[in-house]
Structures are given as C-alpha cells and as structure tokens.
Structure 1
Amino acid sequence: MPKLKTKSGAKKRFRITASGKVKSAMAGKRHGMIKRTKKQIRQHRGTRVMFKTDGDNIIQYFLPNG
C-alpha cells in the first residue's frame, strides 16, 4: 500500500488544534473587498474553529497525517 499523502492546498488553509479541532480562516476575504461592507470585513478577521462534522471530514480526506 502506498502512503497517504496530505493535500498541499489543505495544509496551507487548515490547522489542527491540540484537542483535534480544525481551525480555518473566515471565507470571503481573498478579493473583492470593495463590495463588502466595513462590518463584514471586520467580522471576517482572524480564524474560527470549524463545526465538528466539517472538521472531521477535513481530517479524514485532506489531512490524514495531521
């Protein structure tokens, strides 16, 4: 059996916390800021912890060695 590889795009976008949860940046901050309200830009700062089921899918399919 070949080794399981981590998806390169996923390791740039997600981090796994010590308790096994998945942290990610907020969506909608890559481009097009002129269309967004100041409130939206402010609220999308920083990172968030994903919901458990979403985080479990990320770990299972994209970060198997994470």
Structure 2
Amino acid sequence: MFSFLFLRSCVAQTSWAARPFSSTSVAEALYKMKSHSGAKKRWRSAPGSKSFKRGQAFRSHLNASKSPARINRLGNTAYSTPAQTHKLRKVLLPYGSG
C-alpha cells in the first residue's frame, strides 16, 4: 500500500504526466502536428480549385493483359471527391490553409 501511494505521488509531481489538451497552443504543447507523408507523395492540389488530384494506379507494369482503352483510362488524372477533399485538408494541412 505504501509503495502505491508513493509511486502515485511521484507521478503526480512530474511534468510529463500532464497531458496538453486542445486548448493549449502549439508552443505550449511542445510538439507540432505532422502532415501525412503517404498523402503528400500521392496527392497534389488542383490549380484554380479547392480539390486535389492524383495519378491512377495499376498502369506501371503488367500491361500486356490490359486492353489499350484501359491503359489510356489509367493514364488520366483522378480528382478527389468532396468527402476525400475534406479528409485530405485535415491530413495534408493540419493547421489549416491560412
């Protein structure tokens, strides 16, 4: 019993036990939010609009079994849907666009 109370009082006195909540600023929290590295490599912001664009997958190899029309379709640019755009803004720009 004594060791539990002693340990509990030691943990309460340390500064790392206090968890920074969302009301604290970034400077007080001592860390920065990171943007998603995988999304950075795959998505680009579309010029003149508020959406994102990416390249299609499945075009780089094993193309002998794919029809020419399918290969041409896979060469087109894919754009984000409104739901994807909302999620990508939070992932790529964690502090907002401003």
TM-score tier after normalising by the smaller chain length: 0.7 to 0.9
Distance 2:57 2:64 in 1: 16
Summarize the alignment of residues 39-54 of structure 1 with structure 2, pairs less than 5 Å apart: 39-54=69-84
Q: Is the CA contact 1:16–1:22 (under 8 Å) kept in the aligned structure 2?
A: yes
Larger proportion of strand = 1
- Answer yes or no: is 1:34 the counterpart of 2:64: yes
1:3 is aligned to 2:32: yes
Paired with 1:16 and 1:45, the residues of 2 have a C-alpha distance of: 18
Q: How many residues align?
A: 65
Instruction: Pick closer, same or farther for the CA change 1:7–1:36 going to 2, 3 Å.
Output: same
Unaligned runs of 5+ in 2: 1-28
The sequence identity of aligned pairs, in percent, is: 25
For residue 64 of structure 1, what is the aligned residue in structure 2?
93
Once residues 80 and 59 of structure 2 are traced to their aligned partners in structure 1, the CA distance between those partners, rounded to angstroms, is 17
One-letter amino acid of the counterpart of residue 64, structure 2: I
TM-score after normalising by structure 2: 0.54
Runs of 4+ aligned residues of structure 1 deviating over 3 Å after TM superposition are none
> Which structure is higher in helix share?
2
What's the RMSD between the two structures over aligned residues? 2.0
Which consecutive residues of structure 1, in runs of 5 or more, have no partner in the other structure? none
In the superposition, the TM-score normalised over structure 1's length comes to 0.73
Which structure would you say has the larger RCO, counting Cα contacts within 8 Å and 6 or more residues apart?
A: 1
